[in-house]
Structure 1
């Protein structure tokens, strides 16, 4: 195989040194072509006209001195390796150039042909390796972005058909004309739909944690309020199994700086696990205390099946459920505790677990920093019923016909006046006829985006408030909603309580964007 010929640009104002370097390369039979330039300007012109594999560069030239010479060449041809040719007095400059990106430097007074050829060859090989690594990194980043887009799209496609089913089931669940048996069947269907939605959320949260994209929106909140909200959400499951719930909220300082929705997700995960693994008639408890000044501890205990000693070290690992038998018996993906630990870690907290073994129950403890308690912002708990919204004129913009039908049924059941539009153009026309008091809109519409719709309507009607309903629920999606002017972002499928609470908060609060209070169901 023929040895490839290297294309070299030599930038050297001393003709004697340039001739000597050419002779060195010829003596050691280094296959190359050399373009010689005496001035920086001449070299920059050559680099613009032709591709070179390496540049041999003297830093001291008639028209440029020092690091400015290197910077000019490096900026003109950032992908070409540069070897600095240094005199006795400018080796320090050459060393600085290497720190800035030059591949190597050679003292002119101590160069041999073999050394020069080896340095050029190594410079080209290192640059090629850097380029291969950079391309691999770009490919990996592109693949990761493609994966994120796929997961987000998959989530949207899985969530959208669940929304009308969940909404319709909740309407039937409260219908007094149906028999008790039918309403109980509706409750069973609802629980399984909510379980499906939680599994989707767990998968998404796992990918967010793995990619470092789980973000927090901290504010000062009351731990006790979040605990009570979690208990309220799980109350039906607790009662259904006949469990005794014990609350000992003794912490004198319960105020912390945290993302209320994410932290409620932590308490809800721990409580649902306790309920899940505790047999009927057992005991589940929540307790708080201040173990040391500046710290609050929340302990969730149960009298359930316990955790075997060999499983304890792995209990917070993704997909860990204690064996196939446990998975078959209790279901789930084994992601809840892994996500819970990640959320606690993001809050600079500590999550620990203790169990004396099988049949002895378990105890999970979350420890967090406290803050001054002068002002505690509203948590993600429910707002009082007396603050509920009055009858509103609502414009519902939703192109999924089944979702639009059941949403209209649900909202009119609340007493609101609902107008439906399928497209951006239709929505704009409806607003021209009569301005609504509240906009509830999907993001993806046949002729545009719900975000663009909100921006347009808010420019004409600044007082208009809005709620997003979307199958996309990532941090970036929520930020996009906020920037467009929406006050609340509900991720499909959401239950009727989350929708009603969102309406109450939007009509009662200052319009700050937030996630739905309902923790990821």
Structure 2
């Protein structure tokens, strides 16, 4: 049978069915139509197009379908992308080509899932069905076997399958994206751990070497001993700063960084930061220029945290400025109650593409010089977090010629006050002792070297020391001795310092200092809630311990 006779039979078949009152088929995939489905009927025969419209209109609620018609391949793809139909009814044979050509064009644009296609043909050829389904058609119908119910069910099924396919494709792409991100995060983690290991090990090398030199019996020159002590101190401080930086970054990421804002003289802060960086600046013979033009040097800020910001900026400038270069620190009024500080160097500059990225955590820059200097890439991220905590801003600028970079810090100005800035709160009177001579201090610490170090400091202050290595031993010593003060590590072999202190206070209340390697706000709060007067974060210097002890051992004020 030739193609024309098949088409004639198909048209008669459609006309016959269109005159019957068929009960609408309800598809399980069919949802309420709002807005209606848009169907593109691509067929070169007007009667076939009209009959397809009638079939679908009779098997669904009124207004369920909206039809767009086209009679040739020419312009069909453009029509698809402008009209964006929910489904395409495509005749296999058109006067200017075949539906296969249309499908291939649609497939080339990656649109076979976006625009589902149902192929209509007058011949039930299995090879044609396989071909069009491979190219991307959702379904294939033979015209002389078509009924209104079959057409409606097939159209809804094609829309449903395409929608499901799009969802699965989106999920596949999302899974691929997440997998790539996980791989990148894993690579960043490995790189960070390797860098962290390197950065933590580096200061230990000169420390261990210096200690080995001290073991040398011939080492008696006072100048050499002072130099070795300075090396040890400098590298231990560097190690402590690395740990503090990581803790600060954790606080910032959790939104738990607290700042104690008071009127602060920004010039004093800058001078303190310069003093900390003095050795590095002198080593590279860098010239420092100070140009303070701000009329009011007072800002609202946390002095220690602002010093940390400017220490980081000056250290960064010194790192990337060549020998005999210049670092200029200037201040000026920025208007509307703001003060700006600019730290400008004559170093290698920053590529424009990295001016924002350098403030990201663990970003060390992509330039060879930046990679050569290494580091964890935490300093500038911490600076930004600290400035946000101050409700201020920090950003970077760089010379277009690649000579020098500038970091600008913007802070809220503070009005000069006729009253002195209040000192930090003193410990409660109940946690201080009446005046007398030497005290008996119990040190609860299971780390032998730390215990020895603390004892030396306390004895130098003129006090006596008792040692306990566990909570049980501490309770026993406390019962049998008139201890005046307790210094306790938080982590102990048989419990914690926060468990120990309430037991001691149940016997007799004395002031106490907590020692811990944990320094988050919740750690400090936990110690204070347990009854400690203060919480010192390791590593603990002699200055820190002496200051804390003097504070809680300070005599009570004399009654008037």
TM-score scaled by structure 1?
A: 0.55
Question: Cα distance, 1:456 vs. partner?
Answer: 4.1
Distance in 1 of aligned mates of 2:326 and 2:555: 38
Secondary structure of the corresponding residue to residue 199 of structure 1: helix
Question: Cα distance, 1:367 vs. partner?
Answer: 1.2
Q: Which runs of 5+ in 1 are unaligned?
A: 1-26, 30-146, 381-389, 511-521
Q: How do 1:135-150 residues align onto structure 2 when only pairs under 5 Å count?
A: none
2:246 is aligned to 203
Question: Cα distance, 1:238 vs. partner?
Answer: 3.5
Distance in 1 of aligned mates of 2:220 and 2:439: 27
Secondary structure of the corresponding residue to residue 306 of structure 1: coil
Question: Cα distance, 1:254 vs. partner?
Answer: 4.3
Higher alpha-carbon deviation: 275-284 or 396-405: 275-284
Distance in 1 of aligned mates of 2:292 and 2:424: 17
Q: For residues 207 and 217 of structure 1, do their structure 2 counterparts lie closer, same or farther at Cα, with a shift above 3 Å needed?
A: closer
Mapped contact 2:457–2:546 kept (Cα < 8 A):
no
1:218 is aligned to 260
Mapped contact 2:444–2:487 kept (Cα < 8 A):
yes
- The reply on whether 1:440 has 2:440 as its aligned counterpart is no
Q: For residues 271 and 457 of structure 1, do their structure 2 counterparts lie closer, same or farther at Cα, with a shift above 3 Å needed?
A: farther
- The reply on whether 1:305 has 2:348 as its aligned counterpart is yes
Secondary structure of the corresponding residue to residue 322 of structure 2: coil
2:379 is aligned to 336
Mapped contact 1:351–1:367 kept (Cα < 8 A):
yes
Report how many residues are paired.
341
Match of 2:472 among 413, 425, 430: 425
Higher alpha-carbon deviation: 286-295 or 347-356: 286-295
In the TM superposition, what whole-angstrom CA distance separates every residue of 1:203-240 from its partner, at most 9, and x where no partner exists?
33334433x24331424141434434433433343344
Mapped contact 1:274–1:301 kept (Cα < 8 A):
yes
Distance in 2 of aligned mates of 1:506 and 1:284: 43
1:290 is aligned to 333
Mapped contact 1:307–1:358 kept (Cα < 8 A):
no
1:376 is aligned to 421
In the TM superposition, what whole-angstrom CA distance separates every residue of 1:454-488 from its partner, at most 9, and x where no partner exists?
344456655x4333221111111111122223333
1:363 is aligned to 406
In the TM superposition, what whole-angstrom CA distance separates every residue of 1:68-123 from its partner, at most 9, and x where no partner exists?
xxxxxxxxxxxxxxxxxxxxxxxxxxxxxxxxxxxxxxxxxxxxxxxxxxxxxxxx
Question: Cα distance, 1:364 vs. partner?
Answer: 1.5
- The reply on whether 1:267 has 2:310 as its aligned counterpart is yes
RMSD, matched Cα: 4.2
Secondary structure of the corresponding residue to residue 290 of structure 1: strand
- The reply on whether 1:490 has 2:532 as its aligned counterpart is no
Distance in 2 of aligned mates of 1:506 and 1:230: 30
Question: Cα distance, 1:334 vs. partner?
Answer: 1.0
Secondary structure of the corresponding residue to residue 310 of structure 1: helix
Distance in 2 of aligned mates of 1:265 and 1:395: 34
Question: Cα distance, 1:253 vs. partner?
Answer: 4.0
Distance in 2 of aligned mates of 1:233 and 1:414: 27
Mapped contact 1:468–1:481 kept (Cα < 8 A):
yes
Mapped contact 1:468–1:486 kept (Cα < 8 A):
yes
Match of 1:477 among 502, 523, 542: 523
Distance in 1 of aligned mates of 2:483 and 2:271: 35
TM-score scaled by structure 2?
A: 0.51
Q: For residues 286 and 394 of structure 1, do their structure 2 counterparts lie closer, same or farther at Cα, with a shift above 3 Å needed?
A: farther
In the TM superposition, what whole-angstrom CA distance separates every residue of 1:392-420 from its partner, at most 9, and x where no partner exists?
64332211112222333344445554332
Secondary structure of the corresponding residue to residue 291 of structure 1: strand
Question: Cα distance, 1:351 vs. partner?
Answer: 0.6
Q: Tell me which of the two structures has the higher relative contact order, counting C-alpha pairs closer than 8 angstroms and 6 or more residues apart.
A: 1
Q: How do 1:55-454 residues align onto structure 2 when only pairs under 5 Å count?
A: 177=220, 179-210=222-253, 212-224=254-266, 225-248=268-291, 251-323=294-366, 325-356=368-399, 360-374=403-417, 375-378=420-423, 393-413=440-460, 416-454=463-501
Secondary structure of the corresponding residue to residue 320 of structure 1: coil
Mapped contact 2:300–2:411 kept (Cα < 8 A):
no
Question: Cα distance, 1:450 vs. partner?
Answer: 1.2
Distance in 1 of aligned mates of 2:313 and 2:321: 12
- Rg comparison, structure with higher value: 2
Distance in 2 of aligned mates of 1:209 and 1:485: 27
Question: Cα distance, 1:262 vs. partner?
Answer: 3.2
Distance in 1 of aligned mates of 2:390 and 2:261: 11
Question: Cα distance, 1:349 vs. partner?
Answer: 0.7
Secondary structure of the corresponding residue to residue 469 of structure 1: strand
Match of 1:467 among 513, 529, 534: 513
Q: For residues 370 and 402 of structure 1, do their structure 2 counterparts lie closer, same or farther at Cα, with a shift above 3 Å needed?
A: same
